[in-house]
Structure 1
Amino acid sequence: MNAKQLSVEAIETGTVIDHIPAGLGLSILNQFKLLDYGSAVTVGFNLPSKTQGSKDIIKIKEVLFDEKSANRLALFAPEATVNLIENFQVVRKLHLKMPDTISEVFRCPNPNCASHGEPVKSRFYVRQHQGQTRLKCHYCEKTFPREVATEA
């Protein structure tokens, strides 16, 4: 492979999630149900990165993310970028911002929370505290580090 050859095939139209920390690509693919769009998805793992050493990348053909969808990724990979592609060119680069609330992504770790026995969608308020992302459950009002909240 020559130095200018791409490791992952280019797409004509769609979304590229780039600069995902190595090892998180599969988790993001599953968590955000990226295969459910019914579009071609290309995933690269442990690709070389000048800034990160190695990274993962996800390309979704013919699906364009909006800012709200893109910002949900910030809970997993705040340094990731979302590139919108048209005619093989990046037409817009979305830099992620932490959302104020997040629904249906995490499950409350509190076993006594009403969200466990009731037919309600999970909902958390996202807060930053001393550089750490914390989630406050809408139902039980308990706050947890993001890493403790389990994926729904």
Structure 2
Amino acid sequence: MEKIDYTLKVEALKDGTAIDHITAGQGVKILRMFKLMESGERLYVGLNLPSRRLGKKDLIKIENVLLTPSQANQLALFAPDATVNVIRNFEVAEKYTLDLPELIEGVFACPNSNCISHNEPVKSVFHVRRAKDGSTKMRCQYCEKSFSQDIVAEL
């Protein structure tokens, strides 16, 4: 049987955030949706890395960007099993396990083209809930229409 090397070969962060245990294939979506590439900071991205827990995972490390617990919880939409480590002076200063947030503001656009949020200078606001079937639903505060997380994320 082939032995898998689980040692990561990525430079350590002095200060920043490491998002680990992202479901494989969701890393790029998180980079895009949360505009992490627009920070101008050094960014390390690992896709389809071996993981004992998930089989495969994605990993994101970003220098000099420290996520708050609220920001980290927004990641739970796409990476519910992720862990977020805030790094200060090469040490893990804070570690967040994610909980699905009740509200997400200013991250996604409403898929309803008739929603007032497209014509007025307001931040989008979605109320988030788990449906009985386990899926995640997001309801726009302005037009009150509900959408699956995947429909909202595709915009």
Please, what is the CA RMSD of the aligned residues? Answer: 1.9
Instruction: Return the offset for 1:119.
Output: 2.8
SS in 2 for 1:9: coil
1:82 match:
84
Cα deviation, 1:31-85, whole Å, max 9, x if unaligned, reads 1111222221111111110011111100011222111111111111111110112
Code of the aligned partner of 1:77: A
Moved over 3 A (4+): none
Percent identity of equivalent pairs: 53
Instruction: Return the offset for 1:122.
Output: 1.4
Q: TM-score, normalised by structure 1?
A: 0.89
1:26 match:
28
Q: Select the structure that is richer in strand.
A: 1
1:67 match:
69
Tell me how far apart the structure 2 counterparts of residues 147 and 62 of structure 1 sit (CA, whole Å).
Answer: 29
2:140 matches 1:137: yes
Contact 2:33–2:153 (8 Å) recurs in 1: no
1:47 match:
49
1:119 match:
121
Tell me how far apart the structure 1 counterparts of residues 19 and 77 of structure 2 sit (CA, whole Å).
Answer: 14
Tell me how far apart the structure 2 counterparts of residues 107 and 18 of structure 1 sit (CA, whole Å).
Answer: 26
Cα deviation, 1:85-138, whole Å, max 9, x if unaligned, reads 223222221001111111222222223222233332211111112122111111
Tell me how far apart the structure 2 counterparts of residues 103 and 29 of structure 1 sit (CA, whole Å).
Answer: 17
Instruction: Return the offset for 1:142.
Output: 1.3
Contact 2:86–2:92 (8 Å) recurs in 1: yes
Q: TM-score, normalised by structure 2?
A: 0.87
Tell me how far apart the structure 2 counterparts of residues 5 and 95 of structure 1 sit (CA, whole Å).
Answer: 22
Code of the aligned partner of 1:126: V
Code of the aligned partner of 2:38: D
How many residues get paired? 151
What 5-or-longer segments of structure 1 have no aligned partner? Answer: none
2:98 matches 1:96: yes
Tell me how far apart the structure 2 counterparts of residues 142 and 56 of structure 1 sit (CA, whole Å).
Answer: 32
Tell me how far apart the structure 1 counterparts of residues 71 and 136 of structure 2 sit (CA, whole Å).
Answer: 18
SS in 1 for 2:29: helix
